[in-house]
Amino acid sequence: MAASEENNTLFPIFIFSLLALPLVPYTIFQLYHLATKKARIAKCQCSVCLQSGKYRKSIFRRISNFSTYNNLTLLMLWVIMVMLAYHIKSSSHAVICILIFYTCFTQSICMHSVEAHNYFVEYISKAYQALTDPVSRENFEKYGHPDGRQGLQMGIALPQFLLNIDGTSGAINLLGIVGICIILPLVMAVMYLSMSSKYTGNYVLKHTLSAYFYLMKPSLAPSKVMDVFIKAAEYMEIPVRRSDGEPLQRLFVLVRSELNLDLKNIKQEQAKFWKQHPALVKTELLVQAQLNRESGCLSPSLQRDFRRILEVAPRLLEELMKMAVLQRPPHGHGWLRPAIGVVELSQSIIQAVPLSARKPAGGSTEGIAPFLQLPHFSESVLKKLARKKVRTFEDFQELNQQERADLLTRVAGFSLAQSQDVETVLEMMPSITFDIKCETEGEEAIQEGDIVTMRGWVTLNRKNRIVRALPHCPYYPFHKEENFWLLLADPNSNSVWISQKVSFMDESAALIAAPKVIRESKEWAGASPKELNSAVKEAVEKVKNGSRLVIGRFLAPEEGTYNLTLYCLSDSWLGCDTKMSLKIKVLKRTRAGTRGVQVDEGAGTEDGVEEEQVEEDEYDDDESEYSDDEEEHVADEEDDDDSDKKED
């Protein structure tokens, strides 16, 4: 009887401990992550972004953002913990009521029962003694027992009904052990494996990767990237309803000029377009609705599909980019042309700019597309600016703030508030600078077959001096972080030698990675502790100022001079792409001589002779012991022939 009550008391404490061990650290981590995320990321403050309601959080929106499965589970577990704590606390105060209970118990208990008598003597009397006797009370407060220090006692933190191994309790124990310890883990493992087998680490279906890999071609033009992008398995699963027919027909009329249809055979082209898979037709039209900013004419059901398409678009474009720069035989290079097309499509979707606006015009290779991402800009405004000889986006950026304000207010008819919105977005636009070099570690020059390391810093600059910021994209309804793709490519051969995704959002990870790499490289070079600490401090300061360390390696090609181009392409901004020429000279590999030293033309013949002699010596040294036996055998045969001639 005493043991059962002791076990019943320990069971809530046991459950409370099991819940508290993982729940408390996880809650602290989530709160810290939420606080740091909100404090460090800057958002666009122009009137267009504010009016879009993208960053405005109403009560319903806050509740919907909070009401996730993760947060609700976390809240439910905390409620259970609070209830357990209250139960444990209330049970601990039960000793106070023992004095009142003592009188009632002595009157009602049956003293002829041996078990009841023992329970009364061992527990109730002891409790009464601890409340009335000062010495017993002091022992109870100091050791937890009225009689003083006691020996170690063990208990089982389970309810008593689980410990009674009879017919009913045995069946419950068996079901609990089989269900909780065997079946539940198996079900969870099967569910996890079935879900994880369909998706990649970026939450993209593996069928999508297979389709992208099969459809990706080295000659894929940027205008044809859309045809590959919409064939994702996520988009093929979008339902096509009968009620969608008429709204899609109206949308087709609005975006028909952007569908690359042959105007000479427009009827045949339209029929061919509508004969495609219904999911492909629906996806392409909804993507075109985003590019042409025609989402307002969509029905409520199409609006849901429209948001679903845009929500997964950045992940799909990232995987499509990886397929474009995937290393392929025989040289292990990716493809530059489709990679640029993927980045251009990503920029257009995020900024809601039609692909036709990227056609070169007015001396600009990107056309009028960079202007259309600015607030309050349209084609009519650009025509007015062209009269003042502002034809390219670079010309517009080179103007000072006062000149731009005068131009927009007097020529384009902007108000002062609209002009300030344009200035706010221009201050947020990033500018990328490089400090990168390619070399063979530990060598003075690059030779054929060397492992060449591209190492350096990529620095992001803004006029408002903010590093971590979300891009201006009022027409994209979801949270989007800006990323950059660093490509070392050869435009002449359409090959990408190195590709790397660069993000300036996670400063903490960069503060850990960059000093570690710098420290390892300096230690390998034999730097002193003073030089090592100085290099690490410099790396930390660069990261805090908006720089990121990039490292890539590639196999040196055949002998020759290669005119490469280093690209840094933004996936969110138009007109912010940067490129730099990089010349690499690869020398012929020699087996002897000073490594990496170029040979003069006058000494070419002599060096060649010396090289052949050295190679012959090396070949002689590499011969096995069996060659000596063969030489001795040949010498013996020659001696026999000489002796035969003398006898003749």
DSSP-assigned letters across all residues of 349-399: HHHT--GGGGS-BTTBTTTTHHHHTSTT--HHHHHHHHTTT--SHHHHHHS
What DSSP element (H or E) covers 335?
A: strand 334-335
Distance CA 606, CA 537 (A): 50
pLDDT of residue 102: 52
Query: β-strand 578-587 against 446-447: which pairing, if any?
Result: parallel
What confidence score (pLDDT) does residue 146 get?
74
**Confidence bin at 622 (pLDDT 50/70/90):** very low
At CB < 8 A and 24+ separation, what contacts does 304-307 make? 305/238, 305/239, 307/477, 307/478
Question: If you average pLDDT over residues 77-81, what whole number do you get?
Answer: 89
If you average pLDDT over residues 578-606, what whole number do you get?
A: 62
Q: Is the pLDDT of residue 593 over 70?
A: no
Q: What percent of the chain has pLDDT over 70?
A: 76
| The predicted structure's pLDDT at residue 595 | 45
pLDDT score of 572: 94
Mean pLDDT, rounded, for 385-391: 84
Q: Using 50, 70 and 90 to split pLDDT, how confident is the model at 405?
A: very high
Say if residue 61's pLDDT is above 70. Answer: no
**If we measure between CA atoms, which residue out of 574, 307, 556, 579 comes closest to residue 443?**
556
Find the mean pLDDT for residues 46-59: 77
Q: Dump pLDDT digits (tens) for 481-540.
A: 999 999 999 999 999 999 999 999 888 889 999 999 999 888 888 888 899 999 999 999
Q: For the chain, what is the mean pLDDT? A: 81
Residue 457 CA, distance from chain mean position: 20
Looking at residue 72, what is its pLDDT? 83
State residue 178's pLDDT score. Answer: 78
Element (H, E) at 586: strand 578-587
pLDDT at residue 466 greater than cutoff 50 = yes
Q: With the C-alpha atoms ordered 289, 292, 297, 300, is the resulting torsion angle positive or negative?
A: positive
Q: Mean per-residue pLDDT for 51-69?
A: 66
The DSSP H or E segment spanning 637 is: helix 626-647
User: Quick one: pLDDT at residue 226?
Assistant: 94
Question: Which residues, listed in sequence order, are joined to residue 437 by a DSSP beta bridge?
Answer: 455
Low-confidence winner among 122-136, 245-259, 595-609, 631-645 (lowest mean pLDDT): 595-609
Give me the pLDDT at residue 88, please.
76
Q: Are 246 and 298 in contact (CB under 8 A)?
A: no
pLDDT tier, 113 (very low <50, low <70, confident <90, very high otherwise):
low
Sheet with strand 446-447: strands edge to edge: 334-335, 495-502, 484-490, 560-570, 578-587, 446-447
8 A C-beta contact, residue 486 and residue 359: no
pLDDT at 625: 37
User: Percent of the chain beyond pLDDT 90?
Assistant: 44
* pLDDT at 273 (0 to 100): 92
Helices (H), 387-495: 393-398, 401-410, 416-428
Cα dihedral 8/11/12/16 (nearest 10): 170
